[in-house]
Amino acid sequence: MTQPTANPSTPIILTGDRPTGPLHLGHFVGSLRNRVAYQDTYRQFVMLADSQALTDNMDDIGKVHRNVVEVALDYLAVGIDPAKTTILIQSQIPELTELTFYYLNLVTVARLERNPTVKQEIILRGFERDIPAGFLTYPASQAADITAFKASVVPVGEDQIPMIEQCNEIVRKFNRNAGRDILVECKAIVPEVGRLPGTDGKAKMSKSLGNTINLGASADEIRAAVKMVYTDPLHLKVSDPGHLEGNVAFIYLDAFDPDKEGVAAMKEHYTRGGLGDSVVKKRLEGVLQEMLAPIRARREEFAKDRGQVLQILKEGTARAREIAAVTTDEVKKALGLSYF
């Protein structure tokens, strides 16, 4: 499968996921559906960040290994086209590890520890001071991922903006030391729809919290999950006025229901009273069933030939490695590490 030659002026975009489990609605609204659109306007690279996933999953390496193909299936199912988008596996491009090693000399431990995203993730995982070194140095690794392909655009959640800022710090410092611009600074794109809360109303939809609806969920799984979706705990009677703040059912309708006027009318009815949560959830289930059914069908079709999926990953990774190798050679020359 050959990817068309990109126009040199086409901006390069890099995005990706940690393959630690199947992708869910939070991934879809936050990035996946945008990637389908991006592949027609950008030269897009989508990375399966398996090496990075190991920084906090060394006690369950099988989880990372088996989910590489599972996440790739989700990519293909939502419409990411390997003829337009290069899908690559991080661990199979050793140049990324080499660049990370060089970039670590451009940051200090104190600066890594001050990174707000890293600090928050350390708290969430309960590491305290037992922080895996690979996890702490992830900003340098991410900088390698971005700069290896000279990506000028990186879609991220708002919480990831400090990572992009630190990447650009590394780029500027490297270019200053080299005396010329070799690496490219990047710009963060933050999706209009922010991070989805979990079905239980918690701030984050997360595989580890068990509050997700997976893209490949069956009709029965979708139905069961929607029944458990958090609404308004004070809305005890149908006649009671309901509240929208923190109401996950309406948050999901805002994200996925194309009938915005219908949703607005339902909100107005709910807040004045007279509309039960079961009616809201019935509408939400219908929206999700209609949206996810074709994704599930495509996923099942691709899953019939996992060998072909691996071939897509192999070819995409080979293309990506050629590009990363060129950047790495430029970096080594700038560092005076070319001898032959």
Tell whether the model's pLDDT for residue 163 goes beyond 90.
yes
User: Is 74 in contact with 32 (CB distance < 8 Å)?
Assistant: yes
Tell whether the model's pLDDT for residue 7 goes beyond 70.
no
CATH number of the domain encompassing residue 57: 3.40.50.620
- Facing residues of 45 across strands? 14, 86
pLDDT at 125: 84
pLDDT at 73: 97
Going by C-alpha positions, the residue among 262, 309, 311 that lies closest to residue 286 is: 262
Number of domains in the chain: 2
Task: Write down the pTM of the prediction.
Answer: 0.90
Going by C-alpha positions, the residue among 15, 33, 142, 140 that lies closest to residue 86 is: 15
Would you tell me the crossing angle of helices 248-256 and 277-303 to the nearest 10 degrees? 50
CATH number of the domain encompassing residue 257: 1.10.240.10
Residue 121 belongs to a domain: yes
One domain for residues 166 and 29: yes
One domain for residues 16 and 143: yes
Distance CA 20, CA 45 (A): 19
One domain for residues 238 and 181: no
Going by C-alpha positions, the residue among 131, 23, 138, 109 that lies closest to residue 69 is: 23
Distance CA 110, CA 31 (A): 31
Distance CA 340, CA 328 (A): 15
Residue 250 belongs to a domain: yes
One domain for residues 178 and 311: yes
CA 36 to chain centre: 13
Residue 210 belongs to a domain: no
Tell whether the model's pLDDT for residue 305 goes beyond 50.
yes
Of the ranges 68-82, 198-212, 268-282, which one carries the lowest mean pLDDT score? 198-212
One domain for residues 17 and 153: yes
Q: Which domain holds residue 174?
A: 12-196+306-334
Straight-line distance from the first to the last Cα atom of the chain, in angstroms, rounded to the nearest whole number: 35
pLDDT tens per residue across span 136-157: 999 999 999 999 999 999 999 8
Tell whether the model's pLDDT for residue 2 goes beyond 70.
no
Average pLDDT over residues 202-214: 82
One domain for residues 75 and 189: yes
One domain for residues 184 and 321: yes
pLDDT at 193: 66
Distance CA 179, CA 166 (A): 20
Give me the DSSP letters along 50-80. HHHHGGGTTT-HHHHHHHHHHHHHHHHHHT-
One domain for residues 153 and 115: yes
